[in-house]
Structure 1
């Protein structure tokens, strides 16, 4: 099964001209789980909020979170098909057969979603035909006044791979399909505040299959989703030929550089309005 976390290679004119590159010399030190985290037990808070979302038409999967008993929030790029192609699997090890299935009834992708490094608007909603299984509950959406700033620690969770190094045989799932979590720190924000970034050069972060997963934070006894896992990015030496760039990336851990999250509170109005439309 394919994984689906969009990756952005920032080879803009400035970087090509300057020949900038970014190297990670500690790829072998990455621990098991998500990237540098651990497998999530059933009594962990992430287990009650998350599900794996599978698109049959593209054979891709992502991570999603409940924000209502029958509505999930995920990344926009995870939804490329109509609702009848989308399946939601609740469970910590869905690819190992530990899951409860729900079918999608409606899907809604942000109308301004773009696969760019800025202004991505990368979010979508999925209405399922029945409520989530017993034991699952929604994450709260933060108010606009909810303070989210650089330096804050949050918990990331998802069903993605444990490494960004591509298996040349294509047979190794590289840990996919098991719910994992890790604590990360916000490194900075985009100018418009719609995205925040995480430095993953320390061997911790998100990878392929974690798209749509939450950045979670607990405040006054309630768990909030402050971000949606959207993309990973890296730099490629500008002086390399196309063939050399391909060979370079085949050896790189592309998940050990930087990740991009969509800041949820900036989209609170769109989320609330879209929920009303889905429930009509």
Structure 2
């Protein structure tokens, strides 16, 4: 296995590994192994990857919770599955997160959003955050209705998924509709460069208005240059490009990553973490891959996926025009 310490290779390529390893207690033996791995994998390849995606010559550290940076304002009803969460923490503070309505009774969000939370106000049906206008539906939810994925370790972005059960079913309308869940084996593969959409209540501009951004899926190699080991895997995560200052930054986790396919919106990811270096610097954003947790979601919610609908959509996508 060549990758146990591959996340340091970018620093090694740029000549910074020695200083970093001193600060983070990497042993001389590990440092020697890093240099060996670097040459095995090819100096030019790693240099090209690292120079392309590293920012200001610094290793990108993950920061749980992200907001949409440089997004466009959403039209009313454009994202009827979008949920806004205002969480009350045990110590008296508040926390803002996003979520996705996946049935009339359940909202899917990030597990780290619910850490130390004793209650949540869930807002549906409005593009203005925490709005209680005519189109909005507001739910007060207590901690016993939170369900965190059992494998979540309590920190970081691994298995970062949770459910919130609403105290009563949401009322479907033009502004409130559940989103379809993606099935891994039925959706087209997410190739590098595939455009997907992320939405939330943005860090740049007016924080009260819902924004969205189209971002490109990144290849797996880029994770190694930008994040710590063990936090990102292709099986459990989707990573999107943050270059040109578009994508995630700190403050609004748990929101949806959506793939539009044959005029149907599929929830493919839940915002997990981005970079501490700032919204406009171009760091990738990492999302929990929803399809990898579908069995758990269906088991907890009692939802039934319309496989026939998925299959019909798949058959349509393969027809020649």
Q: Partner residue of 2:147?
A: 108
| CA deviation map 1:198-243 (0-9, x unaligned) | 2212111022333111111122332110111110025xxxxxxxxx
Using the alignment, how far apart are the partners of 1:75 and 1:183 within structure 2? 20
Cα distance, 1:256 vs structure 2? 3.2
Give the counterpart of 1:271 among 287, 290, 297.
297
The change in CA–CA distance for 1:60 and 1:13 in structure 2 (over 3 A counts) is farther
Is residue 2:164 matched to residue 1:126?
yes
Q: Partner residue of 2:32?
A: none
Cα distance, 1:192 vs structure 2? 4.5
Using the alignment, how far apart are the partners of 2:191 and 2:237 within structure 1? 11
- Going by fraction, where is helix more abundant, 1 or 2? 2
| CA deviation map 1:160-209 (0-9, x unaligned) | 312xxxxxxxxxxx632321111111012444521121221211102233
- Going by fraction, where is strand more abundant, 1 or 2? 1
Larger Rg: 2
> After the TM superposition, which residues 180-259 of structure 1 pair with which residues of structure 2 at under 5 Å, given as runs?
180-189=211-220, 190-233=232-275, 252-253=278-279, 256-259=282-285
Using the alignment, how far apart are the partners of 2:257 and 2:279 within structure 1? 22
The change in CA–CA distance for 1:23 and 1:271 in structure 2 (over 3 A counts) is same
- Using the TM superposition, name which of 58-67 and 216-225 deviates more: 216-225
Using the alignment, how far apart are the partners of 2:235 and 2:192 within structure 1? 11
Is residue 2:107 matched to residue 1:68?
no
TM-score, normalised with respect to structure 2: 0.63
> After the TM superposition, which residues 118-157 of structure 1 pair with which residues of structure 2 at under 5 Å, given as runs?
120-135=158-173, 136-145=176-185, 146=187, 147-157=189-199
- Using the TM superposition, name which of 86-95 and 64-73 deviates more: 86-95
Structure 1: segments with no counterpart, 5+ residues:
1-10, 25-32, 163-173, 235-248
Using the alignment, how far apart are the partners of 2:206 and 2:281 within structure 1? 14
Q: Partner residue of 2:313?
A: none
| CA deviation map 1:60-88 (0-9, x unaligned) | 01001111111000111111245x51110
- Asked if 1 retains the 8 angstrom alpha-carbon contact of 2:249 and 2:275, the reply is no
Q: Partner residue of 2:128?
A: 93
Cα distance, 1:112 vs structure 2? 1.7
Structure 2: segments with no counterpart, 5+ residues:
1-6, 21-53, 58-66, 221-231, 304-321
The change in CA–CA distance for 1:113 and 1:18 in structure 2 (over 3 A counts) is same
Q: SS in structure 1 opposite 2:257?
A: strand
Q: How many residues of Structure 1 are paired with residues of Structure 2 in the alignment?
A: 228
